[in-house]
Amino acid sequence: LADGNRERARSFMHAKRWIVGREERHRDALAPGDLALVFVALTREFVGHAELNTAFLDAMPSDPAAPGSAVSGVLLGDVEEWTRGVPLDIAVQRIDPTGSNPYVQANAAGFRAGVVQITLNEYDIVMLLRDGA
């Protein structure tokens, strides 16, 4: 979540909908079954995870019960919000302990996009950190 706080992320997770801008570079790579980590830029922490139920939807109603303007995004399933976040700094230290991976180090200051592709290993490390391992 590039703009907004943990409360906004919570509202998206609760609604099982995530807004994804049409300008996002990796939006067309999103597919049902993909695993996603929820990152809040303001607090620099991962605060949850979800499985995608859909690919990128160019016109997704913001609320299925209320007519109105449409937004783009994905529908989520199996959403889990974490009571304790995983700080980005700790995740980066565990993912790239030697500081030698230029891609990881380029994102160590925070993600520059709303959709960032990561490896399954990077996802697993954040999930282990969430579990306190």
- Mind listing the pLDDT tens digit for each residue in 90-114? 999 998 888 888 878 877 777 777 8
pLDDT band of residue 127 (cuts 50, 70, 90) is very high
Q: Is 70 exceeded by the pLDDT of residue 77? A: yes
Closest CA to 83 of 5, 6, 18: 6
Token readout for 74 is 């994905």
What is the C-alpha end-to-end distance of the chain, expressed in Å?
25
Token readout for 2 is 């590039």
CA dist 18 and 61 (Å) reads: 11
Q: What is the pLDDT of residue 63?
A: 59
Closest CA to 48 of 72, 21, 16: 16
Q: Is 90 exceeded by the pLDDT of residue 78? A: yes
**pLDDT (tens digit, 9 = 90+) per residue, 23-70?**
888 899 999 999 999 999 889 999 999 999 999 998 775 555 545 566
Q: Is 89 helix (H, G, I), strand (E, B) or coil?
A: helix
CA angle 79, 68, 30 (to 5 degrees): 40
What Cα–Cα distance (Å) separates residue 63 from each residue in 11, 15, 19, 67, 108?
A: 12, 9, 12, 7, 34
CA dist 128 and 130 (Å) reads: 5
pTM assigned to the model? 0.85
CA dist 37 and 115 (Å) reads: 10
